[in-house]
Structure 1
Amino acid sequence: MALKLPFPPKLRFLHFIIILGLFLSRSNASAQCDPTNNSIVVCNVSDFSSKTVNLFCALVSYIPGGIWNDDSFTGGLNPVTGILDVQAIGLSGIFSYTYAAVGSSPTTVFVTVGGYAGVSNLGVPACSDNETFNLFLGFKGDFLSPQSNGIWHDDDGTGAISGNYLNATVAGLGPHYFTYTMPAIGGCSSKSSTILVTVKRAPEPGVPTDLKICSDNLMAYSNLNLFDLLTGEDPNGLWKEFSTSELAGVSDSTVDVQHIYSTLGAGVYNFVYTVKPIGADNTICNEKTSTVSILIEKQLDFTGANLVVNSDICEMDIATATYKAVLSEGNQGIPDGNYLVSYKIGGTSSTVSDSVTASFANGVLTFDINRLNFPQVDDYTVTITDIVKVGGLGLCNNVIGLISDMLHINPMPRINSGTLIINAVCKGESAKVIISGNINLADGNYSIIYNLSGKNSAIAQQANFKVINGVVGDILIPFGLIAIDGDTTFAVKKITNLTTGCTNTSTLSKIFVVNPLPDVSRLVLDVKDVCENQPVSVLLSGLGILTNITLSYNLTGANTALNETVTVEVNSGAASFAIPSALLISTGITTLVLTDIIDNTNGCGAIINIGSKSFTINTIPNLPIVDDQQFCKNDKATIANLVPKGTQYQWFDSLTSTTALNNNTLLVTKNYYVKEVNVVTKCESGRAVLNVRVNELGTPVLVQDPLNFCGLDKPTVNSLTAITTASGTIEWYDAAVNGNKLATTALLKEGAAYYGFSYSSTTTCYSDVVEVTVSLTNCDVTPEFFIPDGFSPNGDGVNDSFRIRNIEFIYPNFTLDIYSRYGNLLFSGNKNKLEWDGKNSDFKIGIDGVAPNGVYFYIINHNKGNKAPKQGQLYLNR
């Protein structure tokens, strides 16, 4: 029988053309070598004659012994022989190969490999559940495989190919055509092959739905058809069970779930349904299975279970406490294993929930509870809300019932912020202690341990009391423990709630007084002497623990009074009071006598007689007599210059100042106050006021500066006055201190200093000094001056030196050099050295430094206005 191709007529013709082309291509040598362009073109790759090409054919000339390099890493090249296997490349494209030999430059050859699309089978099968069917399986294996860089085309438009893979689940059943094309390249035409893929139907075992059920709901599943747990399955399949024995055979599909649980208990039971491919020609698809699972979970019943949370604690143990919950099974036994226990903790202000994984062992489960869940004093109820076996299926609502226990965190009794009230008692009485205020004592029975210290001492004394409706009962300190009068400290060291057993330390303490009769055995009386009109203070000491007393006293002597009383406060055994000024109207000696004392804090009193204390009321000095005073500023007058004078007087710069001025304090224009102090009694007069005026003249001010004059004008001291302004008369001195007053006609001297003062004839005061230094070289004229032609240094007082008059004013920077006839320099002069006395002591020439009679020569350098030096001669004649 002739084989019928399953191609449409058009495709059968195309297939024939492709085969014909392959046949014809084998009869042609398709490799084309072009040495001029270093290129080789191989279009018919499948032709045996084109399988290998010699790359040397593309070289015009070359040096033997070189090596070929596969630039494109195609893998088909022998680098020594230059033989390239184009079929080994497996790709179409243009590839480069470079030949390099010693003594020549590298040469690159370009090989164009045309496309090859392979030879297709008559048809290949694929199963409909295959998502990655390789389309290259559609080519004949006994032919050269197609190149891999081609493009697949979905001829039927299935949209099911990606790259070279077919998703048969998308393509659907039936035949499908796909064309593989190698595109044209470098003069080589494109190549194509079409394959046929027939998609066969895969078997459908159905989509399983697991049966999840709790043990309390099995009655409805005593005749369960397993097919009820499948959807979309093929018929005529076979069932298989594993751990159960419910099926009568492979065709049976009915099971009794109640029986499974009764015989095997809770668990997971699997049943597998297997179907084969439909059709004898369907050899490509495999048989398929679906697994149906029946999941049975046992319901747990905790009815009658008991929870104990240990232990109740006191508040002080909150930070370190540990809590353990013990859960015991109830009517139903609980299998050993791990369980997730959920619980809640309810307090007065909040409720928290938590969970823990713990193990039941022999019917008992124990777990710890975080102490952070019990943060404060309260009554906490711990309630189990759910218990689930770890790894269970969560199918059952376990029976929990009410499982709870209460945990008590009891407060520590606190009284430190409370108030102790212990009223003072007299010796021989018991003291009543009252605790009130900010305390947290709940109603009940309490015990305290207390100590007594101070005047009375006792250690670790116990007293019990009750708290009813928040009120603390009285606590009594037996009078036998407080037999000594004085301050006693009652200190609570510990308090215990006798019901809860919670104990707390205490720092609450109170000092109370056991009052004695007033003790005046150490009383000391002191009264200081005072000045007239001053208060008289009476000082008392040695009063012990008294705090408030009433005294009775008498006055005798210069002032008299009888049966006077005064109430005074006592601090640390000392007190003071002032005798009213109305009782002290006379100066002189007065005597104070105390007669009795009463302790106002307890009403106890005593008659006393401690003698008497005398004091003196001294008279005060009279107010000082003063007159206003004036001074000159330059006098630098101080407090010591004020009248009246004496050590008994004190001076102040204000009426209220308490600090006396030092005698060296400089005076300024203002009011000063003086008082007299009696050096013996220290009594003081009032303050008298006087006005001090410190006269001051302004410093003279120069209106011309610098002070340059011309010596030719014969300036005088009056010339200085003419260029100075002042607030008084100007007077000039030759020194700032202790200088000589200069006459107004006195000539000014070059470089001399002058000191000017303003003087007031009214106040006879001088101002501060102005100091000036005079220059007499400010001469703007340059007249000719007389140069003597000789001199006679014979000591007769006439013409004894050679000097050029006024040259220092006209040419202030001049120099004068005098030479002997031998050219020896004898004298060098300037404005500071104007005269030559005929000696050459400066230069040590001649006998004993005396220049002999004769002619000498001089040179004058004017050093002003570019005036040329002047030369001349003079005659020295002794």
Structure 2
Amino acid sequence: MAKNYINLLRFIILFIFLNFFSSKINAQCAGTDGQKVICDIENPVNESLSLFSLLGGSPVPGGTWSDNNNLKGLDPATGILHPQLITKGGVYQYTYTAPSTAGCTNNKAVVTITIGAFPGVGSQATVCNDSNYFNLFTAFDSNSMGPHSNGQWRNSEGKVIEPSLYIGDIDKKTTLQFTYTVPPVLECSPASKSTTVTVTVLRAPKPGDTQNLILCGTTGLAAYTNLDLNDQLTGEDSGTWTGPGITSETDHNVNLQELFDTSGPGIYSFRYDVLAVPDNFICSNKYSIVFITLEKRLDFTGAKIEVAKDICESEISTATYSAKITQGPDKIPDGTYDVTYTVAGSISGSESIRGFFINGEMNFPISSSYFQQVGKFTINVTNIVSAYSQNSCVDIFNPFSTTLTIYPLPRLNGAVLTSTPTCQNKAGLMQLDAPQLLDGDYRITYNINGDNIATGQTAVIKAVGGKATFEVPGNLNVKSGLSVIIILNIVNITNPTPQCASPANVGGNLTINPLPNATTVNVAVNNYCLNDPVSVAISGLGNLTNAKISYQLSDSNTSTVQTITQAVTNGRIDFVIPAALLSNIGSTKITLLNLTNTVTSCDVNLTNVTDDFILYPLPAAPNVENQQFCKVDEATIANLAPIGTQFKWYNSPTATTPLANTLLLQSGNYYVRETSANGCVSGASMVIVTVSDSPLPVLNSDGQNFCGLKNPTIADLSNNTNVPSTVVWYDAPNAGNLLASSTLLTEQGRYYGFNFPDTGCFSSSYIEVTVTLTSCDDVPNDFFVPDGFSPNGDGTNDSFVIKDIEFLYPDYNLEIYNRYGIEMYRGDKNKPAWDGKNYEKSGIAGGIAPNGVYFYVLHFNKGNKKPQQGRLYLNR
């Protein structure tokens, strides 16, 4: 047992030895704990400290440091500590952890740092009371380390205070002292440490508290024509005003009415400046601003709203909508406005939108969600206000509205198209029964197939109660038979825009009956005596079985339009004209106007289907008078009165053979009878006929010779006869023109003279006179040759002519040459005038003589008078 005890004692000693020496061996990796006491922390040498250098033993470098107190100032990688960053005095530990190398796992050592208390270095500060608060910590000397933060402030009365000092109530220059004390650190000193700071507070200038104004410039400025701006301030020092309407440094009154009238609405600022006292360099000058808002009352009277456009039902899914508000007579200033509007319809709602008035107009979108089905929608603007208005004015506003319409598409679903039979070249009436078609006006497009063909035809229809009609024009119904009418498209034209359209496919038949054949129709009426039945025969009616014919009488017997309807036999109708329509004798015309097939009601107007017939009276013996004739008239039987085909003339009261109408009358007795168209002959009446004559005029000797320069007339010719007062002259012996006494005589003119006394007959014979105008021996032989002419077609001086030369030198001739000696013209009394055109034999092309100088040679050909030469100028 003793042995066992000895062994146990050995084991315990070995265990203690091993554990003791093992701990010592491991501790060497982090070194041994260290410490340092810093009482003069404010010394610049204490700005940086290496903790690693404070470890004992042989610490292994490359480890990491940790701050056991979680303070500032430690770099954990390098172990460099900045003690002056620690904000209060005391004892602080920092642990070094050796690197994880073999044998050094979790090996640590601690360095203890003791920092003495530091209250900072007191100083003096000057501040302005307008900062309201002053932080006493800012009063320390900025060239020294800042004080520790664990101290306490006391005022000059020893009362503990906060470092943030309220100075806003200090109303004059005041100097204050404050003490800052930090608790002791026993390792350095058993007593606390203190420092003193001095703060001088200066009073800032007071610009006063402002009271802004918001006024309606349109209606509310009567009391502000002399506003004292000082009344808009409270608690201010003496200062000066600047702003619109302020005219000097002492001025503090403004006329807001004048300002509004001159500059209009707006926000006007007035600045009040107060200067600091001259020895106050801390407080700055102060100012306050009074804002006076002058608003204008807006008048929206007469404003209107327009929606971009109405649409058709087919556009609902793609349409966008916008509205435009336009100002009324009163201008709405440009700017931002809030508009409230409502939409009333199948979907209703109210919205507010902000937009801009520019040049009196505001455009804004409207949500398409309101417009999802057909109908009328009212957009009503209920309010408009300026977005930045202070509401000082009560605007003049009454709601206004407009309407947007979404029109339905015209629908012909289930429609039926029928017709009434028509005739060739007549309009065909089509009836459209369309239950889904709303009342209104529409334009349809249709095609025609069948016996008649036409495409792209249009018609306007008016639908009422789902029914409408339209006509197929007669010019589309040229052929008889069956036409198929197919409606392809329908457009609603009730409103100018939009005109909603839909395709269609509605068909119906139109029967077209043939017209009667008018080309073969003929009418015939014989002549009848008065009161005899007058029968009319109408033929050429073809295969008609029953017909209606209208006719009219004219000339001696007139009537309104008459109508007969009766069966047709072998293409012919015979009827008797009512006797009441034929009360007058004479020629009467029957005119057929219209032929109607009473089976189909198709009719045709008749053209030039007429016949003339005569109703003759029973003639009485003609009422006659004795008659006189002039021999020169060469009267014949045809000239006797009464005149007419019904009168026949005889040479005796019992003669039966009438005299020929061409038989010349002689003085004597003649007998006349009247024969009617029906062969009735009247009794004979006698007429005494007398045929008279006047003596022939006689021309004086040389009475045909005159001088043309004296402009002789027909009166001069008459004076050269034996009956100057009764002779009359003609330009032809038969059917000539009677010449007035003032008619000028012409050279070699032929005149025919008849004797026509006031009471008598034209002479049956005449004298023929050929006049000469060249008997001018007793007239001076002078004439004028023009020196130029202008053939420009203006009617003045268009030809070169030597006036009257033909009377003095009737055999003259005239030659005209150009400057090259080429003959341009040759004339005489039969060709007296040159019109400026090249002589056809001149050989010069072009036909028109150019402007320039030309030369003439005038040959008199009388009395050995030498030719005359000269020049003339042509200027067009």
* Pair in the same fold by TM > 0.5: no
Normalized against structure 1, the TM-score is what?
0.41
TM-score, normalisation: structure 2: 0.41
